Amino acid sequence: MASGFSLKDQLFNQEKTRYLAGLFAAADPGFDAAAFEAEVMAQLPDLELKERITLIAEVLARHLPADLEAAAPVLRRALPPPLDPSLSDDDFGDFIFAPLGEFAVLRGLEAAPELSLDLLSEITQRFSMEWAIRPFLTRWTDQTLAAMQGWATSDNYHVRRLVSEGTRPRLPWGQSVPLALAQPLPLLDQLHADPTRYVTRSVANHLNDISKKDPELVLDRLRSWQAAGQQRRKELVWMTSHALRGLVKAGHSGAMEMLGYDPDMPLAATITLRDDPVHIGGALQFECQLDGAADAPVLVDYRLHFQRPGGKVSAKVFKLKQTVLNGGSTRLSKRHPLKAGASTFTLVPGTHRLELLVNGRVRAELSFVLLPPQ
């Protein structure tokens, strides 16, 4: 990332604010674009990203009719054309439309939920409304789920994706919703066979969220989708792998078996350091040898147990290789950088442990001393 890069300034700035103001001025000759821009920019530079979304929504609410019934036609006319519906995958759209969802929450959550939900289904075709939908799931659970039932068969894949993404149990940045883990599954049953990766990725991410609390619920659903045969085999294989990635990282045997890896396969494994001693600012370099049945599929990870300040230890799993034992054996190597002065994770000198995981099981391990920078 380039020095000085600011995501909030890239997504919400004067140019973007002026663009949004221009859309509303074109939709309503009485909309004062200059006043809207000035009011937003008076506070925007001092705010963080999510605060900027709220600010723009609040200023917009002051420049549109107080009654959502009167404001909705202006908002609809201000919307640009939907994102390209011919694509099979896409990003969120333009973040400058995120405040429109917050505006629907401000004006319509209590006064006009049905109209607000209709607006969200239109706005999400320009920018994902996965965050704005969640207050409605909390306040009007049954009504919102009923609307989503219809959205799941929409011609627009952004609307279909909102059904899965908006109901995720652990949506990044999203408020929690009062849904049982199994409650949205009938909706996912409709969406898992979707022809677009944008939707199926969301479905897989949704299942990965569920797996943190109820692995068996996820495995059972994936089995039922495999039996149904509604999704293309290649896509369902990808979805299954993506949905189970958290369980695979945790070494869950059921997830490993579903992906075709035998956790209990006969195997001999060794792991050796290539360079010793190991210093902060250098790299941990190691090799491992695996010997077992010819052509057996193996998913190889490694887990590092780091010393932490105060004598605690934390462990983190890293990917190494997904392969087969050609001729019954394979040799792998890895160079793991040990960056000094990282702001997100500070390395501490001391004894560390390296474990080799094959199909979720620890098959070899060793300890090494991490020394201060040279």
| pLDDT tens digits, 301-341 | 999 999 988 888 999 999 999 999 999 999 999 999 999 87
Residue pLDDT, tens place only, 232-248: 999 999 999 999 999 99
Please say if the pLDDT value at position 85 is more than 90. Answer: no
* pLDDT given for residue 309 in this prediction: 83
Please say if the pLDDT value at position 27 is more than 70. Answer: yes
Q: Pick the closest to residue 199 from 249, 233, 248, 158 (CA basis).
A: 158
Please say if the pLDDT value at position 176 is more than 50. Answer: yes
Residue pLDDT, tens place only, 332-373: 999 999 998 777 788 999 999 999 999 999 999 999 999 999
pLDDT confidence bin for 374, thresholds 50/70/90: confident
Chain length of the chain: 374
Please give the structure tokens belonging to residue 90: 């896409």
Whole-number percent of the chain with pLDDT over 70: 99
* pLDDT given for residue 2 in this prediction: 44
* pLDDT given for residue 4 in this prediction: 63
CA distance 135 to 234: 36
Please give the structure tokens belonging to residue 168: 């995720």
CA distance 210 to 179: 12
* pLDDT given for residue 343 in this prediction: 72
Neighbour tally for 334: CB within 10 Å: 20
CA distance 58 to 49: 15
CA distance 227 to 225: 5
pLDDT confidence bin for 204, thresholds 50/70/90: very high
Mean pLDDT estimate for the chain:
95
Residue pLDDT, tens place only, 263-288: 999 999 999 999 889 999 999 999 99
Domains located in the chain, CATH noted: 64-258 (1.25.40.290), 267-371 (2.60.40.10)
